């Protein structure tokens, strides 16, 4: 299978799950100290992951958890981000300039910074109060959700915490590679059909909203140089639907969290107004050993990522376009 | 001038400003009672206005003000929206189904609902605790910002409140119609050039982000049936920029609030990578009688709206496409 190293992917996921004792130690220590607000800080792809984590928490918890956009922070500011706040961030390079700038200001405020920074000794790794370094692609959500889960457990909102992670530890890694194998034929067919689309619309809700936001922007636009637009399922019905006709390429991600009904509403509408739609439903991917009641947590997003990874691999090959290259980003100053 | 009734537009704006004693009375009464959090509730266009109001407050205030998406509310929920919360909303018809559903749930929680509902005796007008009915297009932001301003004044964060509104009362309405006249030739030229674009990108930051979000979705997509994508200026640099080339139609809105530097960064980049860009800068529209220091508040957004209104009027005529018609919205059930 193209661009698929089964053992490495299993090891990557298992390794991310193995970070849990370290995450728990950090979260328990900040919990002990007390805090006012929790901020997931990000920009671009990490902003999308932040939206996923906060939507996840909001659906289950009373915790004051918010998304903080890095560039909005150092321009607009946020007076409710204080010395008693917790700020969680993630970065592959540890050098994302807007995040560095935001973190520098947050340090003067004195909030506690918890960073999943994949490059040791990078600026962001040096600046955070607590750093976990684990450079494995596709594990950012596991890390962010692990923090969320521990916070909710400590807040008395996740009684099944141990049972849940026992299932993930035992079955998640294997389940995801199996899902990727299952998705490969679909990924190829989708890539063949849509790799020259002039524009492609991606729709999602709940933690799939962050997924489509990131998929359209960080994968199709940034990596594949394909034009795409993401739109929240609930918002799609308040404007964007009007430009859809028979030929418009539209893909709907259906997840399994509280907002699934919003995606299902779009699912009901699309076949009446469009002849070029695709539904990707995480429910179509069984994962042995993971209870039904846990699927709406991080799993439904990770399954979606398995599917899109297969699309991307085939688009890269068919379009003769290496996903690593950038026209502009980090190519010159602006 | 096409679709331009100067006296009516002046009266509309003046009438919105004249709502202030009523707004002050409501806000002072809820202030007196006390509250925990403030939510601007919306979906589609009103969600965009909510984002504008909250960004505005965040830049100047310590108030706990948040955006609450209506459909996310009745699916994901929000345990921090309580009986002590204030919820502010706006609706033209008073029947937007997702907002009605959210408001019904909020009523069971017991939060105080303040509604700018333009249709008397409509479901939303009946459900809100405080209702202001003033059906004049283009005044939603004035209403939302008026609430924000009174809250900030009561919170000791707006010493110039009386002075500011004195200036608006005396000069805003006239200033806006003058700006529309100034923008008309540009609006025609822009419409002629872009009315058949296969896709148009709109970029903005600060309270212009809600403006571009709404302009792309509620005006181009919904009313003009033209394809468009909005992207926050800071996010544009983390993905979307890679699909821009010489011919890509890109329009950048530049406002005058704290996030202007984020838009300026895109302004510096665009001419190097694109040959089909437009800058619309609220600074180009002088408004007599309004102090420089107040322009970044509601004015810079309203000026942008004057400009886009000229574009829309010309697109409507040139494209022979009445802005009122909808393909799907409220045409059948879904």
* Mean pLDDT along residues A287-296: 97
Look at residue B183 in the predicted model and tell me its pLDDT. Answer: 98
Look at residue A331 in the predicted model and tell me its pLDDT. Answer: 92
Closest CA to B287 of B113, B124, B206, B170: B170
**What confidence tier does B135 reach under pLDDT thresholds 50, 70, 90?**
very high
Torsions phi, psi for A255 (to 5 deg): -105, -160
pLDDT tens, residue by residue, A113-129: 999 999 999 999 999 99
* Mean pLDDT along residues A211-237: 98
CA atoms within 13 A on the CB side of B179: 28
Contact A243 B226 (CB under 8 A): yes
pLDDT tens, residue by residue, A154-175: 999 999 999 999 999 999 999 9
Residue B247: its chain A contacts at CB < 8 A? none
Contact B75 A206 (CB under 8 A): yes
pLDDT tens, residue by residue, A230-265: 999 999 999 999 999 999 999 999 999 999 999 999
And the tokens for A327? 């026209």
Contact B261 A75 (CB under 8 A): yes
B109 touches chain A (CB under 8 A): no
And the tokens for A212? 């489509």
A156 touches chain B (CB under 8 A): no
Write down the mean pLDDT value for chain A.
97
User: Where in the sequence of chain B do the CATH 3.40.50.10490 domains occur?
Assistant: 6-154, 161-318
Contact B258 A75 (CB under 8 A): yes
Residues 6 or more apart whose Cβ sits within 8 Å of residue B13:
B136, B138, B139, B142, B172, B173, B176
B156 touches chain A (CB under 8 A): no
Instruction: Show the CA angle centred on residue A88, arms to residues A87 and A93, nearest 5°.
Output: 125
A166 touches chain B (CB under 8 A): no
ipTM reported for the complex, 2 dp: 0.97
The answer to whether A41 and A70 have CB atoms below 8 angstroms apart is yes
* Strands of the A228-232 sheet, one edge to the other: A228-232, A200-204, A250-254, A277-281
* Strands of the A65-69 sheet, one edge to the other: A65-69, A38-42, A86-91, A112-117, A130-132
Look at residue A120 in the predicted model and tell me its pLDDT. Answer: 96
Whether domain B6-154 has CATH 3.30.310.50: the reply is: no
pLDDT of A137 strictly over 90: no
Dihedral angle sign, alpha carbons of residues A50, A177, A220, A328? positive
β-strands B228-232, B277-281 pairing: unpaired
Residue A200: its chain B contacts at CB < 8 A? none
Contact A328 B61 (CB under 8 A): no
pLDDT of B223 strictly over 90: yes
Residue B100: its chain A contacts at CB < 8 A? none
In angstroms, what is the C-alpha Rg of chain B? 20
DSSP character at residue B112: E
Write down the mean pLDDT value for chain B.
97
Contact A235 B217 (CB under 8 A): yes
Contact A218 B238 (CB under 8 A): yes
Residues 6 or more apart whose Cβ sits within 8 Å of residue A92:
A118, A119, A135
pLDDT of B103 strictly over 90: yes
Which of the listed CATH numbers 3.40.50.10490, 3.40.50.720, 3.40.190.10, 3.40.30.10 matches domain B161-318? 3.40.50.10490
Contact A205 B75 (CB under 8 A): yes
Residues 6 or more apart whose Cβ sits within 8 Å of residue A191:
A311, A314, A315, A318
In angstroms, what is the C-alpha Rg of chain A? 20
Residue A259: its chain B contacts at CB < 8 A? 71-72, 75-76
Residue of A nearest to B267 (CA): A334
pLDDT of B137 strictly over 90: no
**What confidence tier does B315 reach under pLDDT thresholds 50, 70, 90?**
very high
3-state secondary structure of B181: helix
């Amino acid at each position: 299978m193209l661009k698929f190293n089964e053992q490495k992917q299993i090891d990557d996921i298992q390794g991310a799950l193995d970070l849990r004792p370290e995450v728990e130690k950090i979260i328990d220590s900040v919990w002990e100290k007390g805090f006012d607000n929790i901020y997931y800080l990000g920009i671009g792809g990490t902003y999308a992951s932040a939206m996923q984590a906060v939507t996840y928490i909001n659906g289950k918890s009373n915790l004051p958890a918010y998304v903080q956009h890095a560039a909005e922070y150092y321009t607009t500011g946020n007076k409710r981000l204080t010395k008693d706040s917790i700020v969680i961030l993630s970065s592959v390079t540890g050098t994302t300039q807007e995040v560095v700038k935001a973190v520098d200001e947050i340090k003067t405020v004195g909030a506690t910074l918890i960073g999943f920074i994949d490059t040791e000794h990078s600026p962001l790794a040096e600046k955070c109060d607590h750093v976990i370094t684990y450079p494995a692609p596709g594990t950012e959500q596991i890390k962010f959700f692990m923090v969320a889960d521990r916070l909710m457990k400590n807040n008395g909102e996740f009684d099944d915490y141990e049972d849940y992670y026992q299932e993930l530890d035992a079955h998640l890694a294997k389940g995801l590679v199996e899902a990727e194998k299952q998705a490969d034929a679909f990924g190829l067919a989708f890539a063949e059909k849509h790799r020259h689309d002039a524009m492609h619309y991606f729709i999602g809700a709940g933690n799939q909203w962050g997924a489509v936001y990131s998929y359209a922007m960080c994968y199709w636009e940034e990596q594949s140089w394909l034009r795409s637009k993401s739109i929240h399922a609930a918002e799609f019905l308040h404007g964007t639907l009007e430009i859809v006709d028979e030929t418009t390429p539209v893909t709907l991600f259906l997840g399994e969290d509280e907002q699934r009904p919003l995606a299902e509403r779009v699912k009901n509408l699309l076949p009446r107004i469009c002849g070029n739609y695709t539904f990707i439903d995480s429910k179509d991917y069984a994962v042995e050993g993971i209870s039904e009641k846990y699927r709406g947590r991080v799993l439904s997003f990770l399954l979606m990522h398995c599917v899109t990874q297969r699309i991307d691999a085939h688009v890269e090959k068919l379009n003769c376009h290496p996903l690593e290259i950038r026209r502009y980003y980090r190519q010159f100053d602006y």
